[in-house]
Amino acid sequence: MTSSSAASSVFPALAPYGWDDAWADAFAPYDTEGLLPGRVIRVDRGQCDVVTAGGTVRADTALVTPNDPLRVVCTGDWVALEPGGNPRYVRTCLPRRTAFVRSTSSKRSEGQILAANVDHAIVAVSLAVELELGRIERFLALAWESGAQPLVVLTKADLVPDEVTRAHLVQDVELSAPGVTVLPVSAVDGDGLDVLVALVSGGTSVLLGQSGAGKSTLANALLGEEVMEVQAARDVDGKGRHTTTTRNLLALPGGGVLIDTPGLRGVGLWDAGTGVGQVFAEIEELAERCRFHDCAHTAEPGCAVLAAVDAGELAVRRLESYRKLVRENQWIVAKTDARVRAELRRDWKRKGAEGKAAMEAKRGRWR
């Protein structure tokens, strides 16, 4: 019997939480030290709840690198746990397969990890209010960057009973989410739930969205019981209070696990250049045909992106959203990378000089 098969057979109780032979292989060195594997299902003030083969235990996270915000223990982490002691400690985290990270509002421009080892990122969007396509694109950029497969769930679909109107809303989101499944769901009448259950049954899913998007109601529907507290959204703007205050990992009855997160008011990008490119795949493809490789798609001659806008093949809103997220991502990367900062300064100076030269040329023609 191989070490991974042995570890899998010893810890079958962890299988519903995603334990597999690959995790067993990663844990093997700690197994020889007498440590126990477990998955973090909740983190709270320097401590965490960890599900183990013997049940859920409370553990301290002080031994895990505390000075790097991206390496702190996070919901979804697989950890090596001390077998006993008071307090009991998490010794280390196993290498993450994926990580969902956003930038904080801190002036230090730190990243904040929201969930680890996620296979599916469910972006919950309420149909009870007007769609914010730009916000959906922002969530999707972070989801793609994390390594997870995004999925947009349009909640409260029962509030849009007209099928034609609902179809138009789905199409609007699909045009803003290339390569992503867009699924209208009603937790009230069950429409779309069977499809969603099938999509998330094979791994770990994280549930993301603004307060009032219906995340807790959706989580309860997937869990088949009232586990998460639900509060009504305000009628005036469809927003709600933070019903969920911590990130909780829960096993789904149909297979797979779900991480429910608090409503996110701010969704700042964190080094998400690849994710932005995937969200705006059609713009990236057009950009390859631009005359200049560093085309900013603003006023350059031979710009294939602007030509597509002029031809009605690319929506102006999409291009503006793309520019905004690219600029934001460059800014956050530049704040943490001196080389990128220097490149951006050179680029800004070059564009400034080009703009000045263009103005001088215009003045010369006016004289």
pLDDT in tens, 75-120: 999 999 999 888 899 999 999 999 988 876 545 556 788 899 999 9
* Measured distance CA(101)–CA(121) in Å, rounded: 12
135-186 pLDDT tens trace: 999 999 989 988 999 999 999 999 999 999 999 999 999 999 999 999 999 9
- Cα 142 to its chain centre, rounded Å, is 4
Query: CB of 240 within 8 A of CB of 233?
Result: yes
Q: Quote the percentage of the chain above a pLDDT of 90.
A: 55
Residue 346 confidence (pLDDT): 56
**Average pLDDT in the chain:** 83
Residue by residue, DSSP assigns 315-358 as -HHHHHHHHHHHHHHHHHHHHH-HHHHHHHHHHHHHHHHHHHHH
**Sole residue written with tokens 């102006």:** 316
The structure tokens 């990992």 sit at 249
Q: Given pLDDT bands bounded at 50, 70 and 90, which one contains residue 336?
A: low
CA dist 21 and 256 (Å) reads: 16
With 80 as the cut, is the pLDDT of residue 331 above it? no
Query: Pairing mode, if any, of strands 90-93 and 99-103?
Result: unpaired
